[in-house]
Amino acid sequence: MATIQNHSSELIQCLTLGVATTLEKRPGISDVKLSDYEAADRSTLIGWEQKNCCVMPSDLKNFYQTTNGLLLTWKVSNFNDSESKLAIGRMEINPVAGLRKISSSASTESILNKISLADADYHTDSEDDEGNTPHFDSRSKLFEVDGCGGMGKVCLAYLHASSSSQRSEFWFVDRALQWWFIAADFTTYFRLMLMHLGLPHWQYAFTSIGLPQKSKQWFNLYAPVRLKLNEQNNRDKSSLMPDEIVVSPVKVDFSRVFRGKLAAEKRQQKSNSSNQSSSTTSKKKSLQNLSSRSVPSLRSNRSSKPWT
C-alpha cells in the first residue's frame, strides 16, 4: 500500500489522480511512497514574487497553496533477487524554497575557468528576434522545477523578463544546454508527468534525441500506450521539418574494394623480380668477360706499368 506521510492523504490522492493506487496494482512495483508537504503560506508566495520580480502563474500558485511541493517514488522488485529493488519512478515538484533562479552568472563547478551560462547561450538577438526560446542571459528568467536526477532540468521560464506580460512556460534543458518546450502552463505539465508515471528520462520524449533505449524498455512494461503516442508525435514533427535531408544507403562491392591495391602489389612484385633478374644477368656477363681475358694480356698490362 502507498505510504503517505501526512493526514491529508485523500486530498493528495485526488491531486495526483490516484496514480499511487494505480501503481500499487501493477505487477512488480513496490515501495510506492507519496510524500505530502504542508501547504505554503500566502506570505511565502508573495515573498517569492517580490524577491524575483515576477508573478507566479495562478495554477502553480494554487498547487503550492495545496501542498508545498510533491515527491512520488516507486521501485521495481528484482526477479533474480527478491530482496533487492530498483528505484525507477520519480515524480517531483520542488517546493517554493527550491524554486530557485538559474542565474546567468552560475558556472560549472568542475571547470576551473568558471564558464558562465550566459557564455553558453549561443543565440543572439538577430537569431531569435521573437524570443520563442528561453535564454540564460538577462532576456529570460528561469526557475528550476525539477532537477531530473542530473539529466537536465525542467524550468519555469519567463521568456521576456523585461516585458509586462509575464508570460511563462515550462521548458526542459538537456545536458547539452539546449531548450525543449514541454507545456504552456503548470496544469498541462503536471498531467504529463502523471501520464508518464515518472519513468526515467521521460522528459527526453519531447526532444529530438528521444528516449534512451533503456527507458523505452521500462515504457514498454508500464506505459506502452504513452510510448506509442510519443513516437507518433515525433514522427509528425519530423515530417513537418523543412529541408529534410534524406541519406540513401550506399551499396559497397567488397570484391572491388582492394582490387586496385592488389594489382599495385602485383606490379610491384613483378618489377622487383625483373630488377633481380637483370642484376643477375649483368653479373654473369661481367664474369664471362673476366674469364675470356688471357693471362699473358694481364701480365703485359702489369709489365707496362712503371716501377718505382
Q: Is 99 helix (H, G, I), strand (E, B) or coil?
A: coil
Interval 38-74: pLDDT, tens: 999 999 999 999 999 999 999 999 999 999 999 999 9
Confidence at residue 29, expressed as pLDDT on a 0 to 100 scale: 92
Confidence at residue 120, expressed as pLDDT on a 0 to 100 scale: 60
- d(Cα 66, Cα 15) in Å, to the nearest integer? 9
Confidence at residue 35, expressed as pLDDT on a 0 to 100 scale: 84
- d(Cα 149, Cα 264) in Å, to the nearest integer? 58
**What H or E segment, with its residue span, contains residue 145?**
strand 141-146
SS3 percent helix, strand, coil of the chain, rounded to 5, is 45, 15, 40
Query: Does residue 238 come out as left (phi exceeding 0), alpha (psi in the -120 to 50 range) or beta?
Result: alpha
Output the CA–CA distances (angstroms, integers) from residue 47 to 42, 65, 96, 169, in the order listed. 9, 14, 10, 21
β-strands 168-173, 153-158 pairing: antiparallel
For residue 250, the 8-state DSSP code is P
Query: What's the sign of the alpha-carbon dihedral 41, 46, 52, 58?
Result: positive
Confidence at residue 231, expressed as pLDDT on a 0 to 100 scale: 87
Confidence at residue 164, expressed as pLDDT on a 0 to 100 scale: 72
- Specify whether the CB–CB gap between 181 and 206 falls below 8 A: yes
Interval 239-292: pLDDT, tens: 655 555 444 454 545 555 455 666 667 777 777 777 676 666 666 666 666 555
Confidence at residue 189, expressed as pLDDT on a 0 to 100 scale: 97
For residue 26, the 8-state DSSP code is S
Question: Angle, nearest 10°, between helix axes 186-195 and 58-66?
Answer: 60
Confidence at residue 112, expressed as pLDDT on a 0 to 100 scale: 46
What stretches in the chain show pLDDT beneath 70?
1-8, 82, 104-131, 237-264, 275, 277-308
Confidence at residue 308, expressed as pLDDT on a 0 to 100 scale: 45
- d(Cα 151, Cα 203) in Å, to the nearest integer? 9
pTM of this structure: 0.70
Grid cell for residue 147: 532537477
User: DSSP alpha helices (H): ranges in the chain?
Assistant: 9-15, 19-24, 42-52, 58-66, 117-120, 186-195, 213-222, 224-240, 254-257, 259-292, 295-303
Confidence at residue 265, expressed as pLDDT on a 0 to 100 scale: 74
Q: Is 98 helix (H, G, I), strand (E, B) or coil?
A: helix
